[in-house]
C-alpha cells in the first residue's frame, strides 16, 4: 500500500513528500496534472510514483485512492491571480475534485486530510480567527470570493463524509504557507518580493500596504498536516494551520529589501489597477492556533526572518552551467 498526495508536485505537496520519505518506508503516489506544480519539485525522489492526471477525473482518483492507506488532498486551483482570471477552473477543480477524492476515500475507507485555506474567513475583522468563528464574504459578483466559497464547501463535504460515512477526515486551514520551491507566478507575495529585490526591480505592493498577513514556514505546515491525520482526536475537526505572527505588507517589503541588500524601492499599485474595480482584499489574516496546539502539543512559530532567508537563499543559488559538448 501507499500514501496518496493529490497535488504532490506543488509547493506544499512536494515538501510533504520530503517529510513522508523521512518519516515512513511507504511508497508515495502523486496525482497531479502540474497545472501549478512542477515535476522539478519531485525530480529524483525515490519510492514515488507519479500519475499525471486531474482530481476531476473520477476513475483516476478512485484507482489511486484504492491503493492508498491514507490520502492528503492538496490539489487545488490556488493564487489570487489565477482565481480572479479563471474562476470557473477554480470552482471545478476545488469542488468536483474534492468530491471525487472524498467519494473514493469513503468507498475504500481511507483516512483523508483536506487542505483548506484562511480565505474561508473572508473579510472578517474578528482577529485572530478561530475555527468556530462566523465568516464574512463579499458578493458573488466578485470572483475574489469564489475560492473562499469553494473551500468552505470542501470543508463541509469532508465533515459530512465523516459524519455520514464514518470516514476519518481532518480539515486544515492553511495561513500563507511560504518557503523554498514556492512560485510567485500566481500572486504569492514573498517569492515575488524576493525575486524583484534580487533583480533590483521595484517591489509591487497592492493597495496601501497596511494589510497584515501571518506567514508560516512550509516545514511546520507539512509537519502539522502529517501529525493531524495520524491523531484520531483530530478526525472530524477543522484546524487553523499557521503562525500567529502578523506583519504588514509594507513591513514585509522593507524587510525583504534589507535582507537581500537590494536598492529596490517600494511601488504601491491600487487594487483596481492590478485586478478590477470590484476587487476586495481582506485587511487582516491572523490565526488562533489554540486548538492546534491543544491537539498536537506545539504550534508553528518560525520567525519571519528565517522564512525570508530560506527563500532568498534558494533564489540566490547559482544555476549549474551546462557541460560543453
Backbone angles phi, psi at 281, to 5 degrees: -120, 125
Q: What are the cell numbers at 82? A: 489565477
SS3 category, 233: helix
Cα(294)–Cα(130) distance, rounded to whole angstroms? Answer: 13
Cα(193)–Cα(252) distance, rounded to whole angstroms? Answer: 9
Cα(180)–Cα(141) distance, rounded to whole angstroms? Answer: 35
Cα(120)–Cα(99) distance, rounded to whole angstroms? Answer: 18
Cα(84)–Cα(131) distance, rounded to whole angstroms? Answer: 26
Cis peptide before 133 (omega within 30 of 0): no
Report the DSSP beta bridge partners of residue 309.
Answer: none
**CA end-to-end span of the chain:** 44
Known catalytic residue: 161? no
CA torsion sign for 172, 174, 177, 182 is positive
Residues 72, 121, 147, 161: which is the catalytic one?
Answer: 147
Cα(106)–Cα(91) distance, rounded to whole angstroms? Answer: 22
Query: What count of other Cβ atoms lies within 10 Å of the Cβ of residue 245?
Result: 18
In order of 46, 53, 227, 311, the CA distances from 152 in angstroms are: 35, 24, 22, 30
- Beta strand pairing call for 212-214 and 246-248: antiparallel
- Show which residues are catalytic: 147
Amino acid at each position: 500500500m501507499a500514501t496518496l498526495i493529490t497535488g504532490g508536485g506543488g509547493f506544499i505537496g512536494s515538501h510533504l513528500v520530503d517529510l513522508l520519505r523521512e518519516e515512513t518506508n511507504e511508497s508515495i503516489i502523486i496525482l497531479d496534472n502540474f497545472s501549478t506544480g512542477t515535476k522539478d519539485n519531485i525530480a529524483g525522489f525515490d519510492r514515488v510514483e507519479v500519475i499525471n492526471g486531474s482530481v476531476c477525473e473520477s476513475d483516476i482518483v478512485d484507482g489511486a485512492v484504492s491503493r492508498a492507506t491514507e490520502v492528503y488532498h492538496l490539489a487545488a486551483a490556488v493564487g489570487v491571480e489565477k482565481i480572479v482570471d479563471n474562476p470557473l477552473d477554480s470552482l471545478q477543480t476545488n469542488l468536483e475534485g474534492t468530491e471525487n477524492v472524498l467519494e473514493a476515500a469513503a468507498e475504500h475507507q481511507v483516512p483523508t486530510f483536506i487542505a483548506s485555506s484562511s480565505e474561508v474567513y473572508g473579510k472578517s475583522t474578528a482577529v485572530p480567527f478561530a475555527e468556530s468563528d462566523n465568516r464574512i464574504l463579499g458578493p458573488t459578483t466578485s470572483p475574489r470570493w469564489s475560492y473562499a466559497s469553494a473551500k468552505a464547501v470542501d470543508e463541509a463535504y469532508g465533515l459530512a463524509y465523516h459524519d455520514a460515512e464514518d470516514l476519518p477526515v481532518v480539515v486544515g486551514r492553511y495561513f500563507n504557507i511560504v518557503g523554498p520551491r514556492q512560485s510567485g507566478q500566481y500572486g504569492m507575495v514573498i517569492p515575488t518580493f524576493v525575486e524583484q529585490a534580487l533583480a533590483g526591480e521595484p517591489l509591487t505592493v497592492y493597495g496601501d500596504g497596511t494589510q497584515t498577513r501571518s506567514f508560516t514556514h512550509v516545514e511546520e505546515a507539512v509537519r502539522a498536516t502529517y501529525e493531524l491525520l495520524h491523531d484520531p482526536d483530530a478526525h472530524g475537526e477543522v484546524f487553523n494551520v499557521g503562525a500567529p505572527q502578523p506583519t504588514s505588507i509594507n513591513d514585509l517589503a522593507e524587510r525583504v529589501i534589507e535582507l537581500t541588500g537590494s536598492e529596490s524601492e517600494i511601488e504601491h499599485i491600487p487594487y483596481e489597477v492590478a485586478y478590477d474595480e470590484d476587487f476586495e482584499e481582506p485587511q487582516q489574516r491572523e490565526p488562533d492556533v489554540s486548538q492546534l496546539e491543544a491537539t498536537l502539543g506545539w504550534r508553528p512559530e518560525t520567525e519571519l526572518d528565517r522564512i525570508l532567508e530560506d527563500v532568498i537563499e534558494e533564489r540566490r543559488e547559482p544555476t549549474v552551467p551546462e557541460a560543453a559538448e
